[in-house]
Amino acid sequence: MTAPPARPAEELLHELQVHQIELEMQNEKLRESEAAREAERARYLDLYDLAPVGHCTVSAQGRRILQANLTAASLLGLARGAPVKQPFPRFILEDDQDIYYLFHRQLAGSDGPQSCELRMLKNDGTQFWAHLTATAAQEDGVPVLRIVLSDIGERKRIELALSRSEESFRRLAQISPAAILRIDVQGQCIYANLRCAEGTGRPVEELLGDGWLRVMYPEDRDRVLAEWRRDMSARQPKPLEWRVLRPDGTVRWVLSEATVELDERGKPVGYISCISDITELRDRDEQRRVELAAQRDTLVREVHHRIKNNLQSVAGLLQRELGKFVELDPQLETAISQVHAIAVVHGLQSAGPDEAIRLCDSVSNICKTVSDLSQRPVLFDIEHEQTTFRPVRIDSDEAIPVALVLNELILNSVKHSPEGGRDPTVSLSADGISARIVIRNALSAAPDFNIDTGQGLGTGLRLVRSLLPDQGAQLIYESDAEGFMLTTLKMTSPVVVATHPKEAA
């Protein structure tokens, strides 16, 4: 066998130098990688130790602490590294060991993280509430548990304070003499005390949800709900009065006064309403109003009666002056007639409890007064009195002007009717909201005046024109086919108003 030819020494040396350089480069990369891993590990340890929550690695059986960060050691009241190799259950309150046991079992049977809350012990025996979240993992092929624990003592104290406050509220609400409701932002009742049940005649369970609305008198529901929503938006609930319809059909008036409930961020979460029965109070107030109204009506009627008597006395004095100065008799007769017209209004107002008087009564009395003064018949008629006629009332502010206008119009119909001719007639029609008075009389001569422009108006018609209300009254003069003068006075609101049902009956 022939040996391979020997390679030159220079070639071997070159190859060795190249191989040395490659090894040095690989070593440099290894050193760089190691340095990077060390830096990464240092960063990890810093983040791990300085994390705001505690991190523990515990054996798969949940017994022994294999690793713990600085925060976990601080939570347990130990120095850095001291928790390692200590039993984890040692730091759990004895009464809560079962919680941890069940927590560990759930973790073993689940692929995801599990959480629980329990009480733990510091090294000095101090208790604190902790929240635990754990996952199963593998480290170097060994199964372990990674547990994150955080101190939730402050949250628990707040929850406890809220729970105590809630319990205090419920106890106070149960012994409160007033009915108390709690309504959430959706308008659903979430609490009602026993007084609510007593006041509504229904069990508490029926008041929950929207049951509190169903006990309201049907006509009050939309109003109360609309006002409740507006008050919730404004965060300024106002007292509300509404009616409760009890199962036996009785109706009770209540007053609800509320305050808005806010969460920790100041956002409304509902309101608490205190409800008081005010039925007796309203009844007393209504009785007092009725009594005061009766006293006022009595006083007003007495005043009107005295005014009527005084006016009649004035008319009597003026009547005695007739004939003493013949040239003044027409003016005296006009004044007497107008005083009587005003006395008619006050006489009607003194006879009834309402200052507003029925138009038919006023027209009838004025016709009688004019007839008595003139010694000529004035025939008064109500159209369809037994069928479609519905009386109207004269507004109290317009009663005297309307009476003076009617007095002048009826008096003029008598004055301008020829002696021995047909008697003047006054016809009234009304439908409950408007009225029409037609005065029909014969004429001694054709009239020459214009009520709208005022042309040719005598003293009486000038008075009519000045007293006629600007709104709700219209005066029309025309002749009919027989040559009779028709004076039509149409009146609507606000001069006349609808009658009360008992008046229309």
Structural domain boundaries in the chain:
49-155, 167-277, 284-504
Residue among 438, 386, 447 nearest 415 (CA): 447
Query: CA-based Rg of the chain, rounded to a whole angstrom?
Result: 51
Q: Residues 216-241, buried b or exposed e (16+ Cβ, 10 A)?
A: beeebeeebeeebeebbeeeebeebe
Question: Cβ atoms within 10 A of the Cβ of 163, count?
Answer: 10
Residue carrying structure tokens 């100065």 = 325
Residue 397 is given by DSSP the state G
The reported pLDDT for the residue numbered 139 is: 85
Q: Decide: 72 and 56 in contact? Cβ < 8 Å.
A: yes
Residue among 472, 505, 503 nearest 361 (CA): 503
Tell me the C-alpha distance between 233 and 226, whole Å. 11
Tell me the C-alpha distance between 471 and 450, whole Å. 19
- CATH 3.30.565.10 assigned to domain 284-504? The reply is yes
Domain 49-155 and domain 284-504, same fold? Reply is no
User: What are the C-alpha distances in Å from 185 to residues 175, 190, 409, 426, 479?
Assistant: 26, 11, 67, 66, 72
Tell me the C-alpha distance between 344 and 410, whole Å. 14
Q: Which two tokens stand for residue 329?
A: 């008799």
Q: Is 404 exposed, middle or buried (0-12, 13-18, 19+ CB in 10 A)?
A: buried
CATH class of 167-277: alpha beta
Residue carrying structure tokens 């760089």 = 32
Task: Kindly give the confidence (pLDDT) of every residue in the chain, 505 residues in length, as a single tens digit, with 9 standing for 90 and above.
Answer: 566 666 677 777 777 777 778 787 888 787 777 766 766 665 655 556 767 888 889 998 878 999 888 888 989 998 888 888 899 999 999 999 999 999 988 888 788 899 999 999 999 999 999 999 999 888 888 889 999 999 998 888 888 877 777 777 677 667 677 888 888 888 899 888 888 888 899 998 999 998 888 899 999 998 988 888 787 777 777 888 999 999 999 999 999 888 888 777 778 888 888 888 999 999 998 899 888 877 877 776 777 777 777 878 887 888 788 888 778 878 887 888 888 788 777 777 776 655 568 889 889 988 998 888 888 899 999 999 999 999 999 888 888 888 888 888 998 888 888 888 889 999 999 999 999 999 999 887 666 666 555 555 555 677 788 888 889 999 998 888 888 889 999 999 999 988 755 544 3
Torsion angle (degrees, nearest 10) of CA 60, 62, 66, 70: 130
Tell me the C-alpha distance between 474 and 298, whole Å. 35
Tell me the C-alpha distance between 102 and 108, whole Å. 10
Tell me the C-alpha distance between 225 and 418, whole Å. 71
Q: Which two tokens stand for residue 303?
A: 């005043």
Tell me the C-alpha distance between 301 and 347, whole Å. 9
Residue among 130, 193, 136 nearest 156 (CA): 130
Residue carrying structure tokens 């509404």 = 242
Tell me the C-alpha distance between 455 and 458, whole Å. 9
User: What are the C-alpha distances in Å from 392 to residues 83, 298, 417, 470, 501?
Assistant: 99, 23, 29, 19, 11
Question: Cβ atoms within 10 A of the Cβ of 474, count?
Answer: 14
Vertex 362, ends 463 and 406: CA angle to 5°? 25
* Type of residue numbered 248: D
Pick the CATH number of 49-155 from 3.20.20.140, 3.30.450.20, 3.90.950.10, 3.40.50.300: 3.30.450.20
Q: Decide: 203 and 212 in contact? Cβ < 8 Å.
A: no
The reported pLDDT for the residue numbered 434 is: 94
Instruction: Provide the whole-model pTM.
Output: 0.46
The reported pLDDT for the residue numbered 504 is: 47
Q: Which two tokens stand for residue 339?
A: 């005083």
Tell me the C-alpha distance between 269 and 208, whole Å. 16
H-type helices in 191-239, by residue range? 194-200, 204-207, 211-214, 218-234
Tell me the C-alpha distance between 244 and 223, whole Å. 14
E strands in 413-505: 425-430, 435-441, 473-479, 485-491, 496-498
Q: Decide: 323 and 329 in contact? Cβ < 8 Å.
A: yes
Residue 450 is given by DSSP the state -
Torsion angle (degrees, nearest 10) of CA 312, 315, 320, 323: -150
Tell me the C-alpha distance between 35 and 39, whole Å. 6
